[in-house]
Amino acid sequence: MTKHMILIKNGFVYDPINKIDGEKMDIAIKEGKIVDPKKVKEKEAKVIDARGKVVMPGGVDIHSHVAGPKVNAGRLFRPEDGRRQVRPFGQGLRAETGFSVPNVFATGYRYAQLGYTTVMEAATPPLKTRHTHEEMSDTPILDQGAYLILDNNWVIMEYLKAGEYEKCAAFVAWMLRSMKCFGIKSVNPGGDENWGWGKNISSVRDRVIYFDISPAEIIQGLIRVNEMLGLPHSFHIHCNNLGLPGSYTTTLETFGLSDGMPISPKVGERSQNLHVAHIQFYSYGGEDWKTFESKGDEVAKYLNNHSNITVCLGQVTFDETTTMTADGPFEYLLQSINKLKWINRDVELETSSGIVPYIYRPRSLVNAVQWAAGLEVALLTKNPWQIMMSTDHPNAGPFTRYPRVVKWLVSKKAREETIAKCHETLPNRSSIASIDREYTLYEVAVVTRASAAEALGISGFKGHLGVGADADVAIYDFNPEKQDPSREPEALEKALSRALYTIKRGHIVVENGEVVGDAPKRVFWADICFDEELEKQVLDELHETFAKYYTVSMSNYPISEEYLVGSTPIKITSK
Amino acid sequence: MKELYLISKGQPKVPLEAEVIKPDSLAGLSTEEIANLIIYRGNRRVRLGEYFEVKGESADNPEELRIIVEGDVSRTKYIGAEMSAGELIVNGSPYMYLGAWMSGGKIVVNGNVGDFAALEMSGGELVINGNAGNYLGAAYRGNWRGMSDGLIVVKGNAGAEIGSWMMGGKIVVEGSTGPFTGVHMSDGIIVVYGGLGPRAGAQMTWGSIVVYGYAPELLPSFSFNEVIPAVEIEEERFEGPFIEYVGDLAEEGEGSIYLLEEKNKHLKPQ
């Protein structure tokens, strides 16, 4: 299938990082990289005629739960979901199972069918990260990386409380290197630790039991550490009070904590110091469920005045799905509302987690408001570079619905059709019906690939089609000269659902919407050289913590590089 | 009505999966096309014709088609699965998932059926002139939404957890049932003419279990309500007198178990 060189001719190219907006041009690929088209001879290359088609860089997903212990627990506990979308093995492909909790093969194939080539696992507890790597190793096609949950970590909380940021940074550097992870993740800071006592956190100024530190201190401490280390990605947070009425105030307070904090990546060119994940899930007003309303407009207003924050959507798609998060107390609340099955876990010194199936229904006012809140943030935030596509897969819907979310973004008509199916009081609880903005294809390309690549600090080689970039390309059967996304949103949804071609590092992996091959995999992780002396001191102290509290010994804790398929360390010298 | 015969040529050790054996899939096909349909043997794709001789004539519409399966089907799963119309007669004892997810039409089995028959059934009729296995008319593993409509009649006995997570429809067992009859049920009727297995109705919240046979015991989370001469459920009258128990109280449930007084005096409070 794979020729050494590929020439994609005459497509309408949308490449926001290089400011190319639908220009008709050729894209050339050689040895897995984008090259100058003059350097590829037509006779020697596989030529793809992209006349009348859209050409974009391969999609980049900044936040998706696709690998690791809770994802697998979700699969095991939802066999009824497993049978919803099955495809037997054959034609060189592995068997696919699952709709909201697809197996690793389905994950790789279906992302590739959408034209995505890079997907970051949104949260992995350090102790269980070996499992996360095992699943990423088995996920075909995609380049990946994982964020390490560090906020409710006893060691981190002790350092931050004592104000020992240098030591904390040395510890984080060691953790990221040991766990082969890409960045720092926080999930309900402090709340997960309190959940061990059957309690939660209700504001960023609350105190964590025993550790006597507030979420605000954890958040600011970890932003500071993140910037001291100069990680390619910023601090990545799942805020407190997720899913609750009135939670937008907590969100705005959390936003405020990043004010005036440095932005100093040693790698990449991000312009944010805080990435707030699945913003939809805490853009709510109201006193209780009866007065539940969208505050997506307030959140967008803040984002419009603060360019140091990026968000991904966590857009509700109205599906039967599976919620899974390290936010243990939230899942407890959810199962007490919908009375379905529930998994609850505690991960020693590190975090908690929970899983509950959930059905989003347009006729439910709360669900309709959630749907509207996500779109409000996306449509009212002026700068699309602050916005990234996600459904917080599988929490608000499976990633296979991204094309449907795009449909709502590009077409007011499509939104109106959905509003008509929603609870009739939705217009009183949200401004969604009055929003006229429609995304252009250029903006779609921003939120589905370019902004995520930039926020991750990998825009040097991902998320664009400039010379030297990875040859990750998606070609869609949509003719922007003849078709108007606003008036034909269904056609765009269909085109984005089944890419005509997906090319990953020069390998054709999807043709006519069908997976036809695999491509070499990479797993990115931050290999930080911070302060060797200090790190040694920190590790000496850590031995006692392990001996006292962990069920594993410290020597068995780190994951060796040989364990990864496609290990790709990103070298960072922080000091 | 056109009749189409599928005559078993024998069964492999590894089970077959043949959800194409239903009027919906076979209507409008020639016998040759039918023989060339793909079924699974374990994870291998094989031709239907490899294990079944196809005779007779198919109809244009599934409504006008009667499929008659003859011979040994003891290792064939999913016969009639997701069937929505027409008739299917099995003169043999099919393996698991017979008529699973069926939404219409009629299946008659002249033999015994394996586990998970009529799983999550939403319509139609299934008559088993033999014994049924476990999880008859139950929910698929992990699901909390079981049988919602339709009728299942078993002439013999049925196994454990029949009608689990049942939300509607009716199951009639002329023989006895195994443990956890109607577990988690939230609506619908289960009628048992033989003995009722232990822990019937556990976690039930609504719906009825009518028992004409002997029930050795009920769960302690069911409470005695009254003795009534007869009961009418969804316009059908059941003659008693019955001892009525209500539960499962552990779920604050209001399901009813009606036990024929004559056979169950030991469960009547003194």
| Structure confidence by residue, pLDDT tens digits, A224-248 | 999 999 999 999 999 999 999 999 9
pLDDT at A230: 97
Q: CB–CB of A80 and B43 under 8 A?
A: no
The contacts of residue B245 (CB under 8 Å, 6+ apart) are B218, B222, B223, B224, B225, B256, B257, B259, B267
Question: By residue range, what is the domain housing residue B153?
Answer: 112-267
Find out whether B72 and B10 touch, Cβ atoms under 8 Å: yes
| Structure confidence by residue, pLDDT tens digits, A155-166 | 999 999 999 999
Considering the domain boundaries, does residue B262 fall inside one? Answer: yes
**A75 close contact with B: CB closer than 8 A:** no
Closest CB to A80: pick one of B40, B43, B140: B140
- The nearest CA of chain B is from the CA of A341 a distance in Å of 9
**A86 close contact with B: CB closer than 8 A:** no
Q: CB–CB of B43 and A89 under 8 A?
A: yes
For residues A139-144, average pLDDT? 98
Residues of A with Cβ-Cβ distance to B143 under 8 angstroms = 79-80
pLDDT at B240: 84
**B237 close contact with A: CB closer than 8 A:** no
Give the other-Cβ count within 10 Å of A548's Cβ: 8
- Global pTM reads 0.95
Residues of B with Cβ-Cβ distance to A81 under 8 angstroms = 142
- The pLDDT > 90 percentage for chain B reads 97
**A297 close contact with B: CB closer than 8 A:** no
For residues A311-326, average pLDDT? 97
Residues of B with Cβ-Cβ distance to A338 under 8 angstroms = none
Token representation of residue A485: 């996304």
Q: CB–CB of B144 and A77 under 8 A?
A: no
Considering the domain boundaries, does residue B33 fall inside one? Answer: no
* C-alpha span between A527 and A523 (Å, rounded): 12
Give the distance, in angstroms, between the CA of residue B167 and the centroid of all CA atoms in the same chain.
14
B23, B26, B30, B31: CA torsion to nearest 10: -90
- CA nearest to A283, candidates A313, A328, A261: A313
Residues of B with Cβ-Cβ distance to A341 under 8 angstroms = 142, 144
Residues of B with Cβ-Cβ distance to A99 under 8 angstroms = none
- The pLDDT > 90 percentage for chain A reads 99
pLDDT at A3: 54
| Structure confidence by residue, pLDDT tens digits, B19-57 | 999 999 999 999 999 999 999 999 899 999 999 999 999
Q: CB–CB of A77 and B143 under 8 A?
A: no
* C-alpha span between B24 and B36 (Å, rounded): 16
* Paired strand residues for A116: A59
Token representation of residue B213: 């046979």
- The nearest CA of chain B is from the CA of A84 a distance in Å of 11
Domain count for chain B, please give it. Answer: 1
Considering the domain boundaries, does residue B186 fall inside one? Answer: yes
What is the interface pTM, i.e. ipTM, of the complex? 0.90
Q: Specify the residue for token string 């805080």.
A: A274
Token representation of residue A569: 């360390």
- The nearest CA of chain A is from the CA of B144 a distance in Å of 8
End-to-end C-alpha distance for chain B, whole angstroms:
58
A2 pLDDT band, cuts 50/70/90, is very low
DSSP alpha helix (H) spans, chain B? 23-26, 31-35, 48-51
Find out whether B119 and B137 touch, Cβ atoms under 8 Å: yes
A574 pLDDT band, cuts 50/70/90, is confident
End-to-end C-alpha distance for chain A, whole angstroms:
46
A4 pLDDT band, cuts 50/70/90, is confident
- The nearest CA of chain B is from the CA of A340 a distance in Å of 8
**A420 close contact with B: CB closer than 8 A:** no
User: Residue A333 class from Cβ within 10 Å (0-12 exposed, 13-18 middle, 19+ buried)?
Assistant: middle
- The nearest CA of chain B is from the CA of A334 a distance in Å of 16
Encode A369-379: b = buried (16+ Cβ within 10 Å), e = exposed: bbbbbbbbbbb
pLDDT at A1: 41
Residues of A with Cβ-Cβ distance to B43 under 8 angstroms = 88-89
* C-alpha span between A453 and A60 (Å, rounded): 6
Q: How far is CA B209 from CA A224, B135, B145, B233, B240, in A?
A: 64, 16, 18, 10, 13
Q: CB–CB of A80 and B141 under 8 A?
A: yes
Closest CB to A79: pick one of B40, B45, B142: B142
Query: Which residue did the predictor score with more confidence, A2 or A288?
Result: A288
For residues A396-400, average pLDDT? 98
Q: CB–CB of A83 and B140 under 8 A?
A: yes
* C-alpha span between A45 and A35 (Å, rounded): 13
User: Residue A323 class from Cβ within 10 Å (0-12 exposed, 13-18 middle, 19+ buried)?
Assistant: buried
DSSP B197: P
- The nearest CA of chain A is from the CA of B163 a distance in Å of 17
Token representation of residue B223: 């409470």
Q: CB–CB of B43 and A83 under 8 A?
A: no
Residues of B with Cβ-Cβ distance to A83 under 8 angstroms = 140
Considering the domain boundaries, does residue B20 fall inside one? Answer: no
Considering the domain boundaries, does residue B205 fall inside one? Answer: yes
**B43 close contact with A: CB closer than 8 A:** yes
Closest CB to A79: pick one of B40, B140, B144: B140
**B82 close contact with A: CB closer than 8 A:** no
**A76 close contact with B: CB closer than 8 A:** no
Q: CB–CB of A81 and B141 under 8 A?
A: no
One-letter amino acid identity for B84?
S
Alpha-carbon radius of gyration of chain A: 22
Q: Is pLDDT of A538 > 50?
A: yes
Residues of A with Cβ-Cβ distance to B164 under 8 angstroms = none
| Structure confidence by residue, pLDDT tens digits, B256-267 | 999 999 999 999
If you measure CA to CA, which chain B residue comes closest to A79? B142
Residues of A with Cβ-Cβ distance to B144 under 8 angstroms = 340-341
If you measure CA to CA, which chain A residue comes closest to B39? A88
**B44 close contact with A: CB closer than 8 A:** no
For residues A297-317, average pLDDT? 98
Q: How high is the mean pLDDT of chain A? A: 96
**B144 close contact with A: CB closer than 8 A:** yes
Q: CB–CB of A78 and B142 under 8 A?
A: yes
Considering the domain boundaries, does residue B94 fall inside one? Answer: no
pLDDT at B165: 97
Considering the domain boundaries, does residue B12 fall inside one? Answer: no
Q: Is pLDDT of A575 > 80?
A: no
Give me the DSSP letters along A444-478. Answer: HHIIIIIHHHHHTT-TTTSS--STTSB--EEEES-
| Structure confidence by residue, pLDDT tens digits, B169-200 | 999 999 999 999 999 999 999 999 999 999 99
A551 pLDDT band, cuts 50/70/90, is very high
Considering the domain boundaries, does residue B204 fall inside one? Answer: yes
